[in-house]
Structure 1
Amino acid sequence: MRFLKQFLIISGLLITALHVHAQSSDELKRLRNKYNEELEQLNREYEETANNKKSSLRQLSLLKEQINIREEKINSINSEVRLLDNQISESNTSIHNLQSQLDLLKKQYAAMILFAYHNRSSYNKLMFVFAAKDFNQGYKRLKYLQEFAGYRERQAQYIESTEKDLHVKINQLDNTKKEKNNILADQIKEKVTLGKQKKDEARVVSDLSKQQGQLKQQQRDLQRKITKTNQEIRDAIRREIAEARRKAEEAAKAAAAAASPGGNKNVTTNKDKANRPTDSEVLNTTKEAAKLSSDFLDNRGKLPWPVTNGMIIRGMGVYTIEGIRTESDGLEIKTNAGAPVRTVFDGKVQAVENVYGTYTVIVIHGEYFTAYSNLKSVTVSKGQKLSTKQMVGTVATDPATGESVVQFAIYKGINPVNPKIWLFPE
């Protein structure tokens, strides 16, 4: 029975370990499939630009994206291989333990069979019982013979079960080894492709260096547009805050005048200035605005994307391209040409701005604002109430690069916050 307990403990530990590995393996496979889909899409786009027989900034951008994703995929494959190596090692240990357990069970069973053979006659069994010194001992001997027969049957079942488990583990080991070989073959292919793409990147960079003046001008134009867009958004938010503050102060003066004997509405005391409300407080003056702010905050990490199909190509912060420094208040999300852009939460259109030929829509959600820029057209107007995922316009396509990129930003008051931690994970 002691060996049976050991066997059950070992089996339980193996099942738990396999469950953990399965979860990790599934996640890594999901990542690998995601990388494959992104690489296929990028490759199609790159082939379209390559057919023009002329290197372009878009070709370089697509190559860089493919190289980055391919490197991430190779790192993910390395993690998968390490995981499979651990599974193979544990499977070998498991097979060794099961084989040892099986050998021991068979040895014990053989001893029982030999004992049963030597005491196979009913006469011997009866003599064993009748040789007892009293009735109680005779009864115990009879029960012993019955239990021995049952134990022998159970041992045969344990041997059969262990043999099945052993075959299952051997099959799992074979499948794991095949899977590892397939993944390693995929990794080799990706490394070869990565090497070729890095050579292509160097060639395109060389070709583009001949057009450096033109490219720098394009980048300056883009930087100027982004800076102007950021400024327009912040100015619109400042106007909203100023208007909300004016209304709050007028309401406070009216309340103070009604409470004072003279009824002077123009009285402003030092105490009033000291108690001036913050931007957050004036934007949350009404119950509706306060609830909207609270609901927006509660959905951090769960907001839908502003496009149904997109990929982040540049995050929030400062970056440099062609020696031109640019600061972004939000994300740049590449999507399909003419793709609809939608609001990520309930709100009201605070402003629609035209910046160098494309539109920016700003939506207010209590003390939070979302901005959707680089739109070719808009389908909403100032003051219009919106519901989550309602369309606000369509994305514009840059004629120089051929890319369709929507710029998405989130502000708390006048301060930008990183949209990536607010959107539902990719």
Structure 2
Amino acid sequence: MIKKILILAIMIVTAAGSFAQNQSSADLKKKQAEIQKEIDALRQQLDETKKYKRQSLSQLNLVQKKLRLREAQIRNINDQINLIQTNINASWRDIVKLRSELDTLKLQYEKSVVYAYKNRSNYDFLNFIFSAGSFNDALKRMSYLKSYRAYREQQATNIMNTQVQLEQKIASLNQNKAQKSQVLQEQNKQFKVLADEKKEKDAVVNKIKSQEKELLKDMAAKRKQDNALKNSIRAAIRREVEAEKRRVAAIEKERKRKEDEARKADAAIAKKATENNAAAGKPAAPVASKPVEKPAAEPAKPLGLFDSREEVKLVSDNFEKNKGNLPWPVNAGRISMKFGRNKYEGLAIDYDNEGITIEAEANSTIKAVFDGEVSAVFSIGPVQAIIIKHGKYFTIYSNLSSVSVSKGQQVKAGQSLGRLDEKDAGRGELEFQITNEKNVYLNPETWLR
């Protein structure tokens, strides 16, 4: 029974170490699968860009992103190789240690067997016991003999357990070696693919270089359009802030008017009471101050409900609370220019983007990402733009060919705002921005789900 328990304990410890190793390996493989899935999606998007009339910075963006993902894939594989090699080294150390322990155990067991053989006679054991000087000494000698017998059994059990551990470590070592061989093959494959993708990127760069003047012209036009859009946004936000100030001032003015009217009414009542008392020959009654009316206690609300004031507050704050969970303003598309500084390797082109540029099919439906009020609808050259207010935040949708909402209109999340204009061969570019009442532009990617 003791032998079975010891073997089981050894197997549990070994399995625990193996589980930790497998868990780390599983995490790396899961990450590798996620990267590969994203690479496959990028490859599909690149195939779609081939139908356009000319090479674009969007295509170069996709190629560069695919290269970064491929390099991340290779780093992930290197991590797997390092993990496997660490496990191999640990297995070798354990094997050497176990073999040394096994040799020692066998040597000790051999000595005990030889000793037992030389003293195998029952007479010797009885003589050893009965030669004791006292009864207690005889009991101690019997206990010693039992302990010695248990020691020999324990030696045999230790040898068996060590052999089991050694066999498991050798099997694990062989498995890790085979796994390392497979991962190395995958690494070599990824290096070859990376080399091909670098050639693909160089080819795209060379083609775009032939259109560099035209692209620089497009960038200049985009900067001009962005400046006009920024001025319109600033003016719209200023109008909203001023309107809010006027609204608050009007509310305060109305409050003061009502307070003045209440004071005048109280004074008139007090004066009339004094005049009536004087005519009747009664002393003037002291004017009692009007007790302050306490609002009636509100009944306890069932859990999950809220009153209209809380609802209004939540609507004004809810946009911020939904950061990272807002829907995309178009059903299908891809980010062709990210938020912030955009640099293009091999080209003398860079651009600071106030939002994100989403490339999608021309005439795609553009939708509101959250409930709000249309703050402004205006034209920027041949295209149109919409600003929607969400409390202290604003979302901007530009490069629309048509608009289906008007200023002051309340809109719901997912409601159609208009259609995307065509830029080149059936594709359009939505300029989507998020800003606040202080004209600070925010990265839309961190807000969209």
TM-score in terms of structure 1 length: 0.70
1:163 maps to amino acid: Q
The whole-number CA distance in structure 1 between the counterparts of 2:417 and 2:121 is: 94
| Partner of residue 383 from structure 1, selected from 402, 410, 427 | 410
Aligned to 1:82: 82
1:236 is displaced (CA, Å) by: 4.5
Aligned to 1:188: 188
1:258 is displaced (CA, Å) by: 3.2
| Partner of residue 340 from structure 2, selected from 317, 327, 331 | 317
Aligned to 1:400: 424
* Alignment map for 1:162-241 (pairs within 5 Å): 162-230=162-230, 233-241=233-241
1:233 is displaced (CA, Å) by: 4.9
Residues 317 and 329, structure 1, Cα contact 8 Å, conserved in 2: yes
1:93 is displaced (CA, Å) by: 1.9
Aligned to 1:411: 435
Given the alignment of the two structures, is residue 362 of structure 1 paired with residue 393 of structure 2, yes or no? no
1:56 is displaced (CA, Å) by: 5.3
1:384 maps to amino acid: V
The whole-number CA distance in structure 2 between the counterparts of 1:27 and 1:205 is: 36
Aligned to 1:99: 99
Aligned to 1:278: none
Given the alignment of the two structures, is residue 37 of structure 1 paired with residue 37 of structure 2, yes or no? yes
1:351 is displaced (CA, Å) by: 4.8
The whole-number CA distance in structure 2 between the counterparts of 1:66 and 1:338 is: 28
Provide the identity percentage.
30
Give 3-state SS (helix, strand or coil) of 1:38's partner: helix
Give 3-state SS (helix, strand or coil) of 1:31's partner: helix
CA shift in 2, pair 1:50/1:332, >3 Å = closer
Gaps of 5+ in 2: 1-5, 265-308
1:362 maps to amino acid: I
Residues 366 and 420, structure 2, Cα contact 8 Å, conserved in 1: no
The whole-number CA distance in structure 2 between the counterparts of 1:98 and 1:153 is: 19
1:413 maps to amino acid: E
The whole-number CA distance in structure 2 between the counterparts of 1:422 and 1:103 is: 65
Residues 95 and 169, structure 1, Cα contact 8 Å, conserved in 2: yes
The whole-number CA distance in structure 2 between the counterparts of 1:215 and 1:183 is: 43
CA shift in 2, pair 1:117/1:184, >3 Å = same
For each residue in 1:196-232, what CA deviation from the matched residue of structure 2 results, as whole angstroms up to 9, or x when unmatched? 3333333333333333333333334444455555555
CA shift in 2, pair 1:123/1:194, >3 Å = same
For each residue in 1:64-95, what CA deviation from the matched residue of structure 2 results, as whole angstroms up to 9, or x when unmatched? 23222222322333333333333322222222
* Alignment map for 1:39-188 (pairs within 5 Å): 39-47=39-47, 49=49, 57-188=57-188
Aligned to 2:284: none
2:351 maps to amino acid: T
Give 3-state SS (helix, strand or coil) of 1:411's partner: strand
TM-score in terms of structure 2 length: 0.67
1:360 is displaced (CA, Å) by: 5.0
Give 3-state SS (helix, strand or coil) of 1:132's partner: coil
CA shift in 2, pair 1:178/1:203, >3 Å = same
Given the alignment of the two structures, is residue 303 of structure 1 paired with residue 325 of structure 2, yes or no? yes
1:133 is displaced (CA, Å) by: 2.3
The whole-number CA distance in structure 2 between the counterparts of 1:97 and 1:160 is: 15
Given the alignment of the two structures, is residue 328 of structure 1 paired with residue 353 of structure 2, yes or no? yes
Aligned to 1:254: 254
CA shift in 2, pair 1:218/1:339, >3 Å = same
The whole-number CA distance in structure 1 between the counterparts of 2:16 and 2:403 is: 54
The whole-number CA distance in structure 1 between the counterparts of 2:158 and 2:418 is: 67
CA shift in 2, pair 1:61/1:108, >3 Å = same
1:416 is displaced (CA, Å) by: 2.2
The whole-number CA distance in structure 1 between the counterparts of 2:117 and 2:418 is: 88
CA shift in 2, pair 1:75/1:105, >3 Å = same
Give 3-state SS (helix, strand or coil) of 1:120's partner: coil
Aligned residues: 390
Instruction: Please tell me whether Structure 1 or Structure 2 has the larger radius of gyration of its CA atoms.
Output: 2
Residues 64 and 201, structure 2, Cα contact 8 Å, conserved in 1: yes
Q: Which moved more, 1:233-242 or 1:352-361?
A: 352-361
Q: Which moved more, 1:401-410 or 1:70-79?
A: 401-410
Q: Which moved more, 1:246-255 or 1:303-312?
A: 303-312
Residues 303 and 423, structure 1, Cα contact 8 Å, conserved in 2: yes
Aligned to 1:275: none
Give 3-state SS (helix, strand or coil) of 1:400's partner: coil
1:130 is displaced (CA, Å) by: 2.7
Residues 376 and 393, structure 1, Cα contact 8 Å, conserved in 2: no
For each residue in 1:164-212, what CA deviation from the matched residue of structure 2 results, as whole angstroms up to 9, or x when unmatched? 2222222322232333333332222222232233333333333333333
CA shift in 2, pair 1:371/1:29, >3 Å = farther
The whole-number CA distance in structure 2 between the counterparts of 1:305 and 1:151 is: 72
Aligned alpha-carbon RMSD (Å): 4.5
Residues 336 and 357, structure 2, Cα contact 8 Å, conserved in 1: yes
1:33 is displaced (CA, Å) by: 1.7
1:330 maps to amino acid: G
Residues 303 and 422, structure 1, Cα contact 8 Å, conserved in 2: yes
CA shift in 2, pair 1:149/1:263, >3 Å = same
1:317 maps to amino acid: G
The whole-number CA distance in structure 1 between the counterparts of 2:27 and 2:239 is: 47
CA shift in 2, pair 1:254/1:230, >3 Å = same
1:326 maps to amino acid: Y
1:41 is displaced (CA, Å) by: 2.6
Aligned to 2:299: none
The whole-number CA distance in structure 2 between the counterparts of 1:393 and 1:131 is: 108
Residues 349 and 380, structure 1, Cα contact 8 Å, conserved in 2: no
CA shift in 2, pair 1:191/1:144, >3 Å = same
